Amino acid sequence: MCWTSTLKMAAIGALAAAWAFSAPVQAQAQTTGYWQEIQKRGVLRCGVAEAPPHVIRDPKTGTYSGTFVDLCREFAEKQLGVKAEMVDTTWDSIVAGLQAGRWDLALALNQNPKRAMAIAFSEPAWQFQITIVYDRNNPKMQPAPKTLEDIDKEGVNLAIVAGTAQEQTLSGLIKKATIVRLPDVDATRLAVTTHRADALADDGDTDALFVATNPNRWVALAPSPAISKQGIAFGLRRDASWADVQALNFFITEKAAIGEIQRIGQSYIDKLAVPAP
């Protein structure tokens, strides 16, 4: 074989190798991504269950606001160029609804291993710690509790929102007290107010807002050692690619770096932390 023919064969082989290498990349590029599907639809569907100050539902209008609601709307409108639609759900159903494709993002989800086996998570936008609220005049809370063991006593009823991270955590820790599982935050507050429950367990920020309504009556206990500390993030379906998740992460990271997330969250905390007349 002559030198020229050898060069031609080598060139053909190189082209074939280049095509074989690029074909999977081209096929991948042609696949519609997580955000591209939403852009085609024109709406980012956000699954929401009430969790002040991150997800707040106006009882009169049914509209939503809060730290994660604001972030979701901004990501939809400014990053994706679509509208954000809040879809009502409960904490019992928020992960299952995400898996079933009824919404694209689940808002204000605690990051934990059990959920991570079912869905993908963004970077946390906020931090979570379980606290316990009780009536300072409740004889069952005398002397004032300092640890979870002081709450976990026979005859004590502890109200928790069903389906939440705090329910998952405390279900494995509470041995003597009775857990009263209720559908939402308002129900747990009503339970302790009417003495159906002796205490409630929730996110520290949510509990602080409740205590602020009547600080002479309510006490928030942050047990030592801490019951649980987790990040609060957006949930995505498992079919979201690494690049899709990173797009949302970059948005969160920048907002956190410039103090925007803290400013939004604190503004809602200040607005909601108004004592009852």
Tell me which residue range forms the domain holding 79: 34-126+230-272
Are 156 and 177 part of one and the same domain?
yes
Are 79 and 116 part of one and the same domain?
yes
What would the two tokens of residue 8 be?
Answer: 């031609």
Are 49 and 167 part of one and the same domain?
no
- For the chain, the distance separating the N- and C-terminal CA atoms, rounded to the nearest angstrom, is 98
Give Cα separations from 139 to 52, 144, 221, 252 (angstroms).
29, 10, 16, 45
User: By the 8 A CB rule, do 89 and 163 touch?
Assistant: no
Return d(Cα 253, Cα 240) in angstroms, integer.
19
Q: How far is CA 175 from the centre of its chain?
A: 27
Return d(Cα 77, Cα 206) in angstroms, integer.
28
Are 44 and 109 part of one and the same domain?
yes
Q: Cα-Cα-Cα-Cα dihedral of 92, 96, 97, 99, to 10°?
A: 160
Q: Which residue has the higher pLDDT, 8 or 200?
A: 200
Are 196 and 245 part of one and the same domain?
no
Q: Has residue 15 been placed in a domain? A: no
Q: Which residue has the higher pLDDT, 25 or 91?
A: 91
Q: Which residue has the higher pLDDT, 14 or 82?
A: 82
Are 155 and 203 part of one and the same domain?
yes
What would the two tokens of residue 204 be?
Answer: 């520290």
Question: According to the model, what pLDDT value does residue 275 have?
Answer: 60
Are 224 and 234 part of one and the same domain?
no
pLDDT band at 225 (very low <50, low <70, confident <90, very high): confident
Q: Compute the C-alpha angle 162/224/271, nearest 5°.
A: 60
pLDDT for 91 beyond 80: yes
CATH of the domain at 145: 3.40.190.10
Are 40 and 110 part of one and the same domain?
yes
Are 133 and 224 part of one and the same domain?
yes
What would the two tokens of residue 223 be?
Answer: 């047990």
Q: What percent of the chain has pLDDT over 90?
A: 80
Q: Has residue 10 been placed in a domain? A: no
Nearest in space to 189 (alpha carbons), one of 212, 165, 163: 212
pLDDT for 18 beyond 60: no
Residue 70, CB-side half-sphere exposure with 13 Å CA sphere: 18
Q: Is 171 helix (H, G, I), strand (E, B) or coil?
A: helix
Residue entry with tokens 């309510």: 218
pLDDT band at 184 (very low <50, low <70, confident <90, very high): very high
pLDDT for 120 beyond 90: yes
Pinpoint the alpha helices (H) of 123-274.
148-151, 165-171, 185-193, 204-213, 242-257, 260-272
* Single pTM value for the model: 0.78
pLDDT band at 250 (very low <50, low <70, confident <90, very high): very high
Residues with Cβ within 8 Å of 243's Cβ and at least 6 positions away in sequence, in order, are: 33
Question: According to the model, what pLDDT value does residue 21 have?
Answer: 40
Task: Tell me which amino acid residue 217 is.
Answer: R
Q: Has residue 25 been placed in a domain? A: no
Return d(Cα 51, Cα 54) in angstroms, integer.
6
Q: Has residue 6 been placed in a domain? A: no
pLDDT for 199 beyond 60: yes
Q: Is 92 exposed, middle or buried (0-12, 13-18, 19+ CB in 10 A)?
A: middle
pLDDT in tens, 126-174: 999 999 999 999 999 999 999 999 999 999 999 999 999 899 999 999 9
Question: According to the model, what pLDDT value does residue 25 have?
Answer: 40
Count of the separate structural domains present in the chain: 2
Are 240 and 115 part of one and the same domain?
yes
pLDDT for 270 beyond 60: yes
Across all residues in the chain, what is the average pLDDT? 89
Residue entry with tokens 């103090």: 259
Query: Residues 230-254: what's their mean pLDDT?
Result: 96
pLDDT for 20 beyond 50: no
What would the two tokens of residue 130 be?
Answer: 């379980």
Question: According to the model, what pLDDT value does residue 276 have?
Answer: 53
Question: According to the model, what pLDDT value does residue 15 have?
Answer: 40
Question: According to the model, what pLDDT value does residue 177 have?
Answer: 97
Are 146 and 224 part of one and the same domain?
yes
Return d(Cα 119, Cα 115) in angstroms, integer.
6
Q: Has residue 165 been placed in a domain? A: yes
pLDDT band at 228 (very low <50, low <70, confident <90, very high): confident
Are 246 and 112 part of one and the same domain?
yes
